[in-house]
């Protein structure tokens, strides 16, 4: 793990980047429901303040909250950045993911990175998956790779060392990459086709998602 001192340095860089590019990226077709456990939002003023920053699209304020002492504040800030989808926040999200010890915060950082839909995130996510042992975070990493929408992300999913219960998620991530992001990857299509008659019903459903959404799956 890199030194924690990298966080403030990346934050300074983020200030510069956001001064040059303020915009919004939208992931087309991203209609998946992301479930979070309760964090006391309605009774915690600090968490409500983060929601206010989210409504204001104040990415600088949210980035600062990624450095908060309270992990619930860091997690909520990461989740809020995932809603805003500002590409310039990638560097600090990636840096914080590398250094973060709290499972819930890592989960929400990965969610935010996936929402950015940037190919630059692929090596970061691959590295995170190789080191991650927590089930919920690993699920979010596979989901995030499926949202990237690039051949490199599909290749990473194909090569990923996943557990048996993660295979339906890997297959679904490949299906989303092909059907929603229109990634044209023959090896991914072959795997999806071969899984249409898998003995696991969840895997069959995941593979079928691609062929149900793709207009020309040939």
CA 57 to CA 197: how far, in whole Å? 45
Same domain, 98 and 130: no
End-to-end CA separation in angstroms for the chain: 44
CA 159 to CA 51: how far, in whole Å? 38
Same domain, 110 and 159: no
pLDDT, greater one: 34 or 128:
128
* Residue 186: domain span: 119-218
Same domain, 1 and 54: yes
CA 104 to CA 106: how far, in whole Å? 5
Q: List, for residues 123-166, the tens digit of each pLDDT value.
A: 999 999 999 999 999 999 999 999 998 999 999 999 999 999 99
Does some domain include residue 51? yes
User: How many other β-carbons are positioned within 10 Å of the β-carbon of residue 53?
Assistant: 21
CA 59 to CA 124: how far, in whole Å? 21
CA 173 to CA 163: how far, in whole Å? 15
**pLDDT at 216 (0 to 100):** 58
Same domain, 188 and 87: no
Same domain, 94 and 124: no
Same domain, 171 and 213: yes
Confidence of residue 179 (pLDDT cuts 50, 70, 90): confident
Q: Which residues lie closer than 8 Å to 21 by C-beta, 6 or more apart?
A: 87, 88
Q: List, for residues 73-91, the tens digit of each pLDDT value.
A: 999 999 999 999 999 999 9
**pLDDT at 36 (0 to 100):** 58
Same domain, 184 and 206: yes
- Where a domain ends, among 90, 116, 142? 116
């Amino acid at each position: 793990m890199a030194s924690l001192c990298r966080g403030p340095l990346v934050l300074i860089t983020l200030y510069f980047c956001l001064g040059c590019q303020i915009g919004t990226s939208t992931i087309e077709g991203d209609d998946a429901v992301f479930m979070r456990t309760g964090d006391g939002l309605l009774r915690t003023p600090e968490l409500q303040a983060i929601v206010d920053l989210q409504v204001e699209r104040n990415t600088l304020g949210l980035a600062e909250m990624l450095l908060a002492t309270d992990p619930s504040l860091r997690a909520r800030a990461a989740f809020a950045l995932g809603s805003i989808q500002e590409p310039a926040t990638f560097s600090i999200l990636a840096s914080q993911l590398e250094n973060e010890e709290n499972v819930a915060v890592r989960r929400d950082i990965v969610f935010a990175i996936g929402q950015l839909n940037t190919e630059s995130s692929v090596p970061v996510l691959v590295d995170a998956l190789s080191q991650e042992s927590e089930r919920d975070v690993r699920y979010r990493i596979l989901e995030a790779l499926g949202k990237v929408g690039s051949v490199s992300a599909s290749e990473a999913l194909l090569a990923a060392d996943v557990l048996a219960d993660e295979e339906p998620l890997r297959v679904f991530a490949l299906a989303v990459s092909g059907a929603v992001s229109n990634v044209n990857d023959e090896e991914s299509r072959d795997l999806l086709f071969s899984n249409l008659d898998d003995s696991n019903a969840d895997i069959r459903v995941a593979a079928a998602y691609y062929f149900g959404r793709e207009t020309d799956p040939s």
